[in-house]
Structure 1
Amino acid sequence: MKMWKRNLIVCWFGMFITNIGMSQIAPVLPLYIRHLGVHNSALVEEFSGIAFGITFIISAIFSPIWGQAADKFGRKPMLLRASLGMGIVIFSMGFASNVYVLIGLRLLQGVITGYSTACTTLIATQTDKEHAGFALGTLSTASIAGSLLGPTIGGFIEEVFGTQNVFYITGMLLIIVFIATMIFVKEKFVRSNEKISTTKEVWNSVPEKSLTITVLVTFFILTLALYSIEPIMTEYVSKISTNNNHVALMAGIVFSASGLANIIAAPKLGKISDKIGPHKVILVALIIAGLVFIPQAFVKNPWQLMFLRFLLGLASGGLTPSVNILVKKITPNAITGRIFGFSMSAGYLGVFGGSVLGGQVSAHLGIRYVFFITSALLIVNAVWVYFKVYKKLNLKSI
C-alpha cells in the first residue's frame, strides 16, 4: 500500500476518535457533574457549559503553537504526543473527585490537543498533487463526523455501560490511536531552513494574505453554522414531535445526519475541487448551505428536519476539503503547519461560537430565528467569497 494511503487510513481513524473525545462529553456532562456531588440545577448547567466550552477555547489558542512545533520537529511526533496525552487525560476524567478536577482536566485536554492539525498538515504535505483533494476530502470527514457523532456515541456508551465508562472507553481508544500511529504512520520530514518563529514573521511569509483571511473566516462560519443548532436540538425536536418518547435519541440522530452526509460527500467533492478549483466548490456549497437552513425553521416533524440536515451535510462536505486544498495551494511548505493550526483554531472557535449563538438567539428571539440568522451569515459569507476569492482566482486562471 502506498505511504499516503496508509497515512490517510491511520489519520482518519485517529482524527475520528480524537474529535469524538472532544465532543462526546456533551450529553453526559450534566449526569457526571451530578455524580460528582453538584445537585443544584442552575450550578449543573453552569458547570456543564464551562466544562464543555473550555476545551475548545484552549484548543483554539494552542493549535497554532502545535502547528509551529509540527513545522519544526515533524508531524508524526505531534501525532504521538497528542494521541497519548489525550488518551491519558480523558481516561483520568473517569477518576475525577469533584467538578473542579473535571474542569481542570478538560482544560488540560485543550492544551494537549493538536492531532487534527498535525494530521491535516501531514496529509497535505506528504500526498501527491493528483490525490490531494481526495485525501484531504476524506480526512475532513473524520473531523466533522467525529464531532457531530460524538454526542450520540457518548450518550450511547453512557446508557449501556455507565457514565464513567464513557471516559475509560474513549481514553483506551486514543491509546490504540497512539499505537497505530507509532507503527503505521510514515513521514519523510525535511525541516525547512527558514527562520520563522514569531506570529508576525509567519504572517509576513503568507503570500496571499487576503485569501488566507477569507478562508479562515469561512471555516469559522461553517463550523458555527453546523453547531448553532446543537444547544437547541433536543428542545426543537420535542416541539415538532407528536410523540415525546425517545426525544433525546431522535435529537442525536437528527444532529448526526449532517455528519453522515458529510462522510458521503466530502471525498467526492474533494476530487471535484481538484478538477474545477476549490474556490468554485466553496462558493456553491456556501450558497446551498445558506438556503437549506431556511426551511429548517418551518419543519413539521423530526423526519423533515433530518432530511434537511442531511442536505446540509452534503453541502458542507464540499467546504472543509476545499478550504484545506486552498490553504495548501496558497501557503509555503515552511509554514503549512502553522496556517493549518490557525484554521483549526477557527474551527474550534466556530464550535464554541455556534453553541453560544444558538442558545442566546433561541433564548431571546425564539428557536426559528437560529436558522434565519445562521442562513444570513452563510449567504453574506458567500458574497464575500465571491468578491475576495472566486473572482480573484478566476482572473488568475484566465
Structure 2
Amino acid sequence: MQWQRNLAICFFGSFVNIVAMTVLLPFLPVYVEHLGAVGDADIARWSGIAYAATFFSAALVAPLWGHLADRYGSRQNLIRASFGMVVSMALIGMAQTVEQLVVLRLLVGLAGGYTSGSYVLVAAQTPKERSGWALGMLSSGIMAGGLVGPLLGGILPTVMDIRTIFLGASGLIFFNFLATCLFITSPPRQGRADKARADSGPAPRPDMSVVFTMLFVAMILMMANMSIEPIVTLYIRSLDVGAQSVTWLAGLCMAASALGSIISAPRLGKLADRVGALKVVVVCLGIAGLLLIPQALVTQAWQLIVLRLAMGLALGGLIPCVSAVIRQNVGANRVGKMLGYSTSAQYLGQVAGPVLGGFAAGSLGLRFVFGVTSVVLLATAGWCLLLLLRGPAAANNASLDDG
C-alpha cells in the first residue's frame, strides 16, 4: 500500500539522516581544534556554538517547511531536504575555519528537515486508526539513528580522516535522495471542482487548546531530556566510579535510554491507536516524572542505567503520540504547518535544556536537576490530565472530517 511504502522509505531516510547528523558528536571538539580553535575553553565554546547552530536554525524554518508541504506536497519537501543534506554534509567536510563550520551547521538546519518532513508525510497519509503505530515506527528509526551515529563517530576517526567521514555521510544521504525521488509517492491532488465542493461544506474547527498544549509538551519533553543528558557523565563520576570507567558507563547510560525509547515507541503508538493518544501522553509523562525521583537517589552506576532504561521506555511513545494528537485535532490542510511548529518546539527544548540543566547543576547540585525535572514533568502530566477530563474532543477519540 502507498502509505506503507512511504513509511518504509521515510524510516530508512530518517535513520540515515540522523546518523549523518550525529556521527560528528564524539569528534566535534577534535574537528573544531583542527580548524583553528586554541585552548580547552575556546574549543568548548566553539563546539557548543557549532552543535546548537543546527537546532537554532531548524527551529526557525520548521513551520515554513511544514506550511510549504501543506501547499505543494510533502514529497517535494523531502526531496528538497535530502538534497540539502547532501550538499551541507559535503561542505562541512571542506570547511577551513571554525567560523565556516558554524555557518555550515546553520545551513544544515535551514536546508535539512527530512525527519520533520517525514513526520508530516506519514501523519497526513496514514489512516487515522493506524497513525499512532506508524508514527511510533518512524520515531524508532529516528532514535535508532541517534544511537548508531555517535557509536560510529567514536570508531570511524580511528580508521579514516575526519573530512572523509563527512564526505561518506554525504554520499550515503545521496542514496536516500534517490530513494525519495523514485519511491515516495503523493496522493493525487484535488482538482479545482473537487476542491470547491470540499471547501463549500463546513470547515472543521480545530481544538487549538489541545494543539497548543501538545506544542508545550513537545518542548518540555526535549528540555527535560536534554537537561539530564549533558550531566550524566559528571553524575556517574560523583558515584565514586573509577576514572577509567566513567565515560564507558556514561555512554552505556545514554544508550540504555535510547534503547528503551526504540523498543517502546511503536508499541506505545499502537496502544494510542486503541485507547487514545492523549491518554498515553498523560500516563507516560507521569511515569517518567516519577522515575526521575529514584534517579536523584542512586548510589551505584548500574542503578542509574536501569532507571534510564525504564525512563526511555516511558518517553519513547511521547513524540509519536504528541504528533498523533495534533494530527487528529487539525484539518488536513494544516497538518504540515502545525507539525512544523511541533518540531520547532522540540528544537527549542533541545537548545534550552542543556543551558538550564547546566546552570542548575552548577548552582544547586547535580541531584537537584533530577528533582526539578521531575516536578516539571509531573506538572505537565497534570495539565494534560485536566485537558483529557475536559471532554471527549480533547481525548481525541472523535476524528475530524478532513474533507
TM-score by length of 1: 0.91
Q: State the match for 2:305 in structure 1.
A: 306
* Paired residue total: 389
Q: Give the Å deviation of 1:150.
A: 3.5
1:183 corresponds in structure 2 to: 182
| 1:289 matched residue in structure 2 | 288
Aligned-residue Cα RMSD (Å) equals 2.3
Q: Identity across aligned pairs (percent)?
A: 39
Residues 35 and 96 of structure 2 are in contact (CA less than 8 Å); yes or no, is this contact kept in structure 1? Answer: yes
Q: Which residue of 2 aligns with 1:199?
A: none
C-alpha contact 1:16 1:142 (8 A) present in aligned 2:
yes
Once structures 1 and 2 are overlaid, which stretch shifts more, 19-28 or 257-266?
19-28
**Counterpart in the other structure of 2:376:** 377
Q: Which has the larger radius of gyration?
A: 2
- How far residue 340 of structure 1 moved from its aligned partner, in angstroms, is 0.6
Would you say the 8 A contact 1:228–1:356 is kept in 2?
yes
**Contact 2:387–2:394 (8 Å) recurs in 1:** no
What does residue range 1-398 of structure 1 map to in structure 2 within 5 Å? 2-147=1-146, 149-190=148-189, 207-240=206-239, 242-393=241-392
Residues 37 and 46 in structure 2, CA contact (< 8 A), matched pair in contact too: no
288 and 22 in structure 1: CA distance in 2 versus 1, 3 angstrom threshold: same
**What is the alpha-carbon distance in structure 2 between the residues aligned to residue 288 and residue 192 of structure 1?**
48
* Counterpart code for 2:183: F
Matched-pair contact (CA < 8 Å) for 1:232–1:359: yes
Give 3-state SS (helix, strand or coil) of 2:264's partner. Answer: helix
State the alpha-carbon separation in 2 of the partners of residues 321 and 37 from structure 1: 41
Shift of 1:394: 7.3
Structure 1: runs of 5+ lacking an equivalent: 196-203
Letter in 1 for 2:28: L
CA gap of 1:191–1:142, structure 2 versus 1, over 3 A, is: farther
Structure-2 change in CA distance of 1:166 and 1:391 (3 Å): farther
Distance 1:388 1:184, change over 3 A: same
Quick one: structure 1 residues 299 and 152, their matched pair in 2 at CA, closer, same or farther if it must change by over 3 Å?
Answer: farther
Shift of 1:191: 5.9
Amino acid at match of 1:55: T
Cα distance in 2 for residues equivalent to 1:308 and 1:98: 41
Name the CA shift for 1:263/1:373 in 2 (closer, same or farther; >3 Å): same
- TM-score scaled to structure 2, two decimals? 0.90
The whole-number CA distance in structure 2 between the counterparts of 1:389 and 1:322 is 14
Once the two structures are TM-superposed, the CA of residue 82 in structure 1 deviates from its matched residue by 0.6
Mapped to 1, the partners of 2:151 and 2:134 lie a distance apart of 26
Query: Are 2:18 and 2:142, in contact at CA under 8 Å, matched by a contact in 1?
Result: yes
**Residue 116 of structure 1 aligns to which amino acid in structure 2?**
T
Using the TM superposition, name which of 297-306 and 90-99 deviates more.
297-306
Change (3 A) 1:158 1:360: farther
Letter in 1 for 2:130: H
Gaps of 5+ in 2: 197-202, 399-403
Q: Retained in 2: the 8 A contact 1:67–1:114?
A: no
